[in-house]
Amino acid sequence: MAVENLVKTYPPGIRAVDGISFSVASGEIFGLLGPNGAGKTTTIKMLIGLTKPTSGSLSLFDVDVAKSPQAARRMLSYVPQNISVDGDLSGYENLLIFSKLSYVGREDRKERIAAALQYVGLTARANDLVKHYSGGMMRRLEVAQSLVNRPKVLFLDEPAIGLDPASRRELWESIRQLRKEFGTTIFITTHDMSEADYLCDRVAIMDSGKIVVMGSPSELKESLGGDVVTFRLTQPNKAVALPADMGQLVHQDDSTIKILTHDGQETAPRIVLFLKDQGVGIQSMSIDIPSLDDVFLKYTKKRLEEHGSMAEARAVRRSIARHSR
């Protein structure tokens, strides 16, 4: 997959996606990370040809997606953020209909559907209407659709959002399995850093329509260099101006201050003294090696907005509820 200088503007001149370029190798799991409204979903929609890019080029196994979306769609499968299986059909029927619409050969269909149902553990519920499934089961059925269609590229838009931790684990395992068995290239958008860290070979962090940094999770973490020192505060405090030689203030809110520094062991005591001087009340302190979360904080200057992600999780749960009506 090759993306070159992709731009999407919405009237009146809002640049939802602002000139991004990247490429994904065959068989790679690639993550596009970013806060809400960074342009992740718009990017995915352009990649599968549901929305036309304003400018720029994108190709999938040498097929120009904007020019021949139909040909591109033969190679891909898409799991949107909201549950997209049909609640008024049984699990089996969902797989059957979508395999036909994706032109899976008649001779392969039956066998693949049975195997996919088995694989996601829905064989016993195959003939129940999907509206009686749980959210996790609906997601697994969507993965099963991809198993039946055997796409070369699978696009997942925030796949684990709104799921409980156990379902999330199961989903991640099925995604990895998919790549292992069929060499599927997988493109994921997420704002869950643990998901990206666990699944992705490479990630690109996107903010306000631009890619701010790209690399493997471990590279990115190492690129920060040094340690992250986190202070829990006794009370909210005004913004702190940290001297440059102590490190970089990457985050401050009412209860925490995070500082990225070269050698945490050595600088932490100096920072404590400095903060005390500034009248900051410290409750506790910890020194950690950087996580993907810290990478994200550094490059987007944004904490993953908890409110935002709660709202999205609620939207997905609503979508599950709508399917279960």
Our CB check for other proteins shows the closer of 130 and 224 to be: 130
Our CB check for other proteins shows the closer of 230 and 319 to be: 319
Peptide bond into 236 cis (omega under 30): no
Q: Using an 8 Å Cβ cutoff, are 210 and 223 in contact?
A: no
Give dist(CA 181, CA 115) in Å, integer: 13
Give dist(CA 55, CA 6) in Å, integer: 6
Our CB check for other proteins shows the closer of 45 and 125 to be: 45
Question: Taking the complex as a whole, how short is the minimal distance between the CB of residue 251 and other proteins, in angstroms?
Answer: 34
Question: Taking the complex as a whole, how short is the minimal distance between the CB of residue 319 and other proteins, in angstroms?
Answer: 6
- For residue 138, the SS3 value is helix
Question: Taking the complex as a whole, how short is the minimal distance between the CB of residue 71 and other proteins, in angstroms?
Answer: 8
Give dist(CA 204, CA 98) in Å, integer: 31
Question: Taking the complex as a whole, how short is the minimal distance between the CB of residue 82 and other proteins, in angstroms?
Answer: 4
Q: How far apart are the first and last CA of the chain?
A: 38
Question: Taking the complex as a whole, how short is the minimal distance between the CB of residue 249 and other proteins, in angstroms?
Answer: 41
β-strand partners of 215: 203
Q: Using an 8 Å Cβ cutoff, are 38 and 206 in contact?
A: yes
Edge-first strand order for the sheet with 14-23 is 14-23, 2-10, 55-60, 63-64
Our CB check for other proteins shows the closer of 44 and 199 to be: 44
Question: Taking the complex as a whole, how short is the minimal distance between the CB of residue 57 and other proteins, in angstroms?
Answer: 20
Question: Taking the complex as a whole, how short is the minimal distance between the CB of residue 70 and other proteins, in angstroms?
Answer: 6
Q: Using an 8 Å Cβ cutoff, are 271 and 205 in contact?
A: no
Q: How far is CA 114 from CA 13, 135, 305, in A?
A: 49, 21, 41
Our CB check for other proteins shows the closer of 25 and 50 to be: 50
Q: With residue 122 as reference, give the H or E element that holds it.
A: none
Our CB check for other proteins shows the closer of 130 and 206 to be: 130
- Which residues form the interface with other proteins (CB under 8 A)? 45, 48, 50-51, 70-71, 73-74, 76-78, 80, 82-90, 93, 97-98, 100-103, 129, 319, 322-323
Amino acid at 34: G
Our CB check for other proteins shows the closer of 129 and 287 to be: 129
Collect all residues with Cβ–Cβ distance below 8 Å to 315 and sequence separation of at least 6: 82, 162
